[in-house]
Amino acid sequence: MTEEIFAQALKMQEQLVDWRRTIHVHPELALQEHRTSSLVFKTLEKAGIEAQRGASETGVVGLIEGAGDKTIALRADMDALPIQEETGVSYQSQAPGVMHACGHDGHTAMLLGSALILKRLGSRLKGKVKLIFQPAEEQSFIGRGGARQMVAEGVLGSPLVSSIAALHLDPDLPAGIVGIRDGTLMASSTTFEIRIRGQAGHGGRPHKGVDAIYLAAHVILTLQGVVARETDALDPKIITVGEIRGGTSPNIIAAEVLLRGTIRTLSSEMREKVQRAVSDRSRDIARALGGDTISSFQYLYPALVNNRVLADMVRKVCAQCPAVDRIEELATPNLGGDDFAFYSERVPGVMFRLGCSIGKKTTLHSATFDFDEKVLPIGTALLAGLAVKLLEDQS
């Protein structure tokens, strides 16, 4: 059936591109995806697919009824990023300072295409497919929205979902190549804040104060030593300080500096170890230099772990899809994070990477990110084919 599904997806190329570009031109940040969710809802409604709006504020959940009782889910994320686009393409973002730099416009278009194909299968579909169009993947750490909130609202129940799948566009892979991995695919993510306290003073008499900026420089260097010297080099982890705020004037010794950053690990044990080390080392170095610190942490995502059986199903569906050039076994996890992990820690889940390179150096979350639109029918077919396979193997 995969070849038949791909043939249908190919016929949808123009529509898939139109959906993708419409969403790309009008990007919306987390929990502001009103225009996108309206497009999704109206498209599902027109196709005769039962759908509800308002999940996690701006999400849409659809349900396709087949001939069986089992239910599987497919998920796409819809939100954009606070980045000023610099691609220069004809469909460039019209929203100042906002763009789809992570492929969520493509994810949404491909799931819409899959939904229409699955709906046409009717009774040939051996069960139900829940369609999860999720907001706020990029900022689900804000405490509402995103996968965490959708799970809390019961998106995996009524009817009960037995497994879930998603794809993610990957500009590091050539178009037509699918990347897959058993086990841990992406890291857990924790945000930290370190408030470094010194003592204000005159810039010309630094010995009369305690320079919080000087302390912060030592703390940052010390944190990199946690990764390099205090943990197993064969167990990947990252400590990144991504934000520094401090000082009020060039001639005043800063009394306080705020450091904000992220911790990425592949296990809860390593996450806890690194978190303790960040708190302890920053405090120790600041106190040694006459200051002090207050550290806080916000746990964002668990590690995203692919179910081995579901990953094998992805391989089988890819092998049956004529447009997939090859399957690449991903040797190492990605230390990025994705809140799809909140679904996959509740039910068996799988995420695969869909190569989308446009032949020039670009990367996710950059102002020049774009992807090869010829992969839209491929992703559409793979999602629909995987849904069929999951239902057949569980019916």
Q: How far is CA 151 from the centre of its chain?
A: 16
Query: What DSSP line would sit under 282-349, residue for residue?
Result: HHHHHHHTT-EEEEEEEEEE--EEE-HHHHHHHHHHHHH-TT--EEEE--S-BSS--TTHHHHTTS-E
Residue of 28, 137, 256, 373 marked catalytic: 373
State the Cα–Cα distance between residues 33 and 96, nearest whole angstrom.
15
Is 33 labeled as catalytic in the residue annotation? no
Is 65 a catalytic site residue? Answer: no
The one-letter amino acid code at 49 reads I
Catalytic residue, from 230, 301, 328, 345: name it: 301
Q: Tell me the three state secondary structure of residue 258.
A: strand
* Angle, CA of 27, 374 and 85, to the nearest 5°: 30
Q: Of 379, 352, 381, 344, whose CA–CA distance to 72 is shortest?
A: 344
CB count in 10 Å sphere of residue 221: 10
Count of CB atoms within 10 A of residue 249's CB?
Answer: 8
Q: How far apart are CA 176 and CA 166, in angstroms?
A: 17
Q: Are strands 349-355 and 163-170 parallel, antiparallel or unpaired?
A: parallel
Half-sphere exposure of 73 (CA within 13 A, CB side): 28
Asked if 179 contacts 318 with a C-beta cutoff of 8 angstroms, the reply is no
Pair 329, 234: CB distance under 8 Å: no
Q: Are 264 and 238 in contact (CB under 8 A)?
A: yes
Which residues are part of the catalytic machinery? 301, 373
